[in-house]
Structure 1
Amino acid sequence: MASRKWYKLVLIGRKGDGKSATGNTVLGEPLFQPSVSANSLVCVDKTSDHPLTSSNAKAKTSQPPLTSSNAKVTVIDTPGLFNTDIDKKDIESELSKIFDFEFIAKDGGIDAFLFVLRIGRFTAELRNTIKYCQELFGTDVMKYSICVFTGLDDLEFDGDNFQDYIAQLPEDIAAMLPKIRLSINNRAKDDLVMQAQRAAILQAVDTHRNSTKKYTYRKLPRESSMKCKPDTKDVFGKHCTEITPTIAGPVTLLSYKKQEL
């Protein structure tokens, strides 16, 4: 019997760009709550209970699924970067806990970061967000990432299309972003559209991991002063965190809680 596919994904990006909603699209149901992941790390581990459809959302005919119906998908949602409601040190501390998960530290690493950006103007904050991700996860982090643009519905409402939008990327941003880029509408009401978007993301992950090794753990700064080199490989100790599992039907939710000192 063929082994079950397992997708291990980490959502990163700015507050308000749709990270949690994108995680829900990948999982196929609303399991992430932005109010929770805005301040702390949240991991949802789910086994798909229905086949995925073709990436062509307009096709109504039945087609062979792109991914087996029992694929396992694990998604880690992270606090939004440049969230002014949270101290920078607390954001970095939460991000470092990604590597406390045993399946990340010991089982081959992360298949892909989903770098979530909302379609809009290309600002200095976008450039700073990319650079900040490189500081945190290493200068080559975008090589291990897939760029997911949200807000496709707004773009189409204005009569534009994603290909033309990408063609307008400033050269410096285009060079910094991941090479695999796709756009989604997290507010779509049509189940076939949502399934197709989910299939497209996981198909992009398949394409990505066929061409790139998994991202293995790297040491993130405990302090915002960046005392350690971003490319130093290490696993953080668990002296400041504990993992509390909560079982809810077929979904395992893992959330971190700080220990009382």
Structure 2
Amino acid sequence: MGSFFSKWQDGSNETKDRQPAADNTSFLMKCVGLQCLTGPHTDEAKTGRHTGTTVNLVLLGMAGTGKSASGNTILGQKLFVSRPSSTPVTTKCQAKQTEINGVDVNVIDTPDMFDDDIAPSVRGKHVQRCKQLCESGPCVFVLVMHVSRFTDGERDIMEKLEKAFGREVRGRTIILFTRGNDLQQAGMGLEDFLHSCQPDLKKMVEKCGNRCVLFENNKSGSDQVEKLMTVVNTILKDQNNF
């Protein structure tokens, strides 16, 4: 499993169409003990990486949480199918590429592969395909959750992720909460939400090293993507990948 997480590709990737993200001021949002830290993106953070490295962002989570929409926000364009539906829209793993501040980013959208109703053989195929799409470089898992909903199926999702991808997944996971506007309308911030959320959700956040970001996928602008990428860079540096 270690080789899956540590594979590198020395600039030999095929050149693919990318949509550059705007280079705005970025922030580090790492909620530790309900304390959110923010700070500007330094030159070292922008340049302290290996040329030719592709960072893989794997979007995981239950159906309807906004994985595809979040992928489109990261990409800066609508490349994944995302629409309201009573049935899952994404049925297979797929990848699209972009470039963010000079870094090649491979965004991988996935179906709800941890639904208890999915046959183990189907789940195994999704996991294997996801691993194949991550072979271009280091991998960070983005667990997408609806900020206004926490289901029974999500309570043990970290254990399912570890079973599928190995124990390393815990140190490489960021929780991305969607529907940030719901908090804004309630006069709350992410810190307020985490302070008052269910105990099981708090435990999940702690298991992920308190790494959380908040997305509003109907919002234009790249600040929220910059926040996500700052946390991604922190993970990769901690893992000696940058």
**CA distances 1:116-172 after superposition (whole Å, capped 9, x unpaired):** 111134443221222211211123412111111111111211222210111234153
Find the partner of 2:225 among 198, 205, 208.
198
Contact 2:115 2:153 in 1 (8 A): no
- The one-letter amino acid paired with 2:126 is E
Paired residue for 2:234? 207
Paired residue for 1:126? 154
Structure with higher Rg: it is 1
Paired residue for 1:14? 62
Find the partner of 2:203 among 172, 178, 183.
172
Paired residue for 1:97? 129
Structure 2 CA distance for aligned equivalents of residues 199 and 182 of structure 1: 10
Structure 1 CA distance for aligned equivalents of residues 205 and 98 of structure 2: 33
Report matched runs for 1:76-87 at 5 Å. Answer: 76-83=108-115, 86-87=118-119
CA deviation after TM superposition for structure 1 residue 178, in Å: 4.1
TM-score (norm 1): 0.62
CA deviation after TM superposition for structure 1 residue 72, in Å: 1.9
3-state DSSP of counterpart to 1:186: coil
Structure 2 CA distance for aligned equivalents of residues 135 and 146 of structure 1: 17
3-state DSSP of counterpart to 2:171: helix
RMSD of equivalent CA atoms:
2.7
3-state DSSP of counterpart to 2:123: helix
Paired residue for 1:181? 212
- Any unmatched runs of 5+ in structure 2? 1-46
CA deviation after TM superposition for structure 1 residue 86, in Å: 4.9
Contact 2:54 2:137 in 1 (8 A): no
- The one-letter amino acid paired with 1:24 is N
Q: Does 1:136 align with 2:136?
A: no
Quickly say closer, same or farther: Cα 1:94–1:174, change in 2 above 3 A. Answer: closer
- Any unmatched runs of 5+ in structure 1? 49-66, 215-261
Contact 1:142 1:177 in 2 (8 A): yes
Paired residue for 1:26? 74
Could you tell which deviates more after superposition, 131-140 or 31-40?
A: 31-40
Structure 2 CA distance for aligned equivalents of residues 3 and 33 of structure 1: 31
Structure 2 CA distance for aligned equivalents of residues 76 and 121 of structure 1: 23
Count of residues in correspondence between the two structures:
186
